[in-house]
Amino acid sequence: MKFLKYILLLPVALLAFYSEAISAYLLDSNWSWTLSKWWIYILLWILPIYYITDMRRTQKKGERFVFPVLFFLLSTTAAVFHFISYPIYDGDISGAGVEMQKEKTIDGFQNGLLMISIPGCPYCFEATSTLKQLKERTPELAIRQVVLSDDIADLELYREAAEGMYTVDTTSAYSFYSRITSSYPTFVLVKDGEMHKQWRNSGFGVVAKDEIEGLVE
């Protein structure tokens, strides 16, 4: 029976390798963004702590502790591998947003999430998948992507990526948006027609996404 505790390593290792798919499933099951990302980290690091405790307990009893040592090393390796494959960023720990001066928007957008982007920006294109996920999970959330260009042709690829799930517009108001950010994409929380908070792409993590979804709860 005492070896049953070592069998725990197998399902946990499988979870580490398939965590992205499992986290996606949890998101589809209406788990929060934060819990969907953090559950695997917590689980993976609980196991090495358990094994090192077991190793010390076995050592004190004068028993062979080769198995506790081996499984401590294996469980730690799995946890490190997962962390390297799916690192944690500032936006996954804290909101990482910057409070704004609550400046009025210039386009009548009242409540929701505004993404500021530029033509041909690979990070902006990558962020469209996040916008679609947010819209799928919270259909009532208004989302608008503004592209800093006055050329309608610059919208075509972004509108294809959006698949009609949220609004994509151009704007020639470069001076207005340049005062807000020089990093693209930038995400802006809008309430009652005022811009309250902004996140750069690297800071728009699970905490910010949960905050945005909380707008319509």
> Which DSSP string corresponds to 39-89?
HHHHHHHHHHHHHHHHHHHHHHTT---HHHHHHHHHHHHHHHHHHHHS---
Q: CB-hemisphere CA count at 13 Å for 195?
A: 23
> Residue 65: what pLDDT?
65
Residue 98 has pLDDT above 70, yes or no: yes
The confidence band for 1, taking pLDDT boundaries of 50, 70 and 90, is very low
Distance, first Cα to last Cα, the chain: 48
Enumerate residues 6+ apart whose C-beta is below 8 A from 208: 91, 95, 96, 97, 187, 199
The amino acid occupying position 141 is L
Is the model's pLDDT at 6 over the cut of 80? no
Q: Closest by alpha carbon to 144, among 158, 126, 123?
A: 158
Q: Which residue has the higher pLDDT, 150 or 144?
A: 144
Does the pLDDT at position 148 exceed 80?
Answer: yes
- Residue 175 bridge partners (DSSP): none
Question: What is the pTM assigned to this prediction?
Answer: 0.78
Fold annotation for 98-216: Glutaredoxin (3.40.30)
* Ranges of each domain in the chain: 4-88, 98-216
Distances (CA, A) of 104 to 145, 188, 191, 204: 17, 12, 10, 22
Strand partners, 64: none
pLDDT at 63 over 50: yes
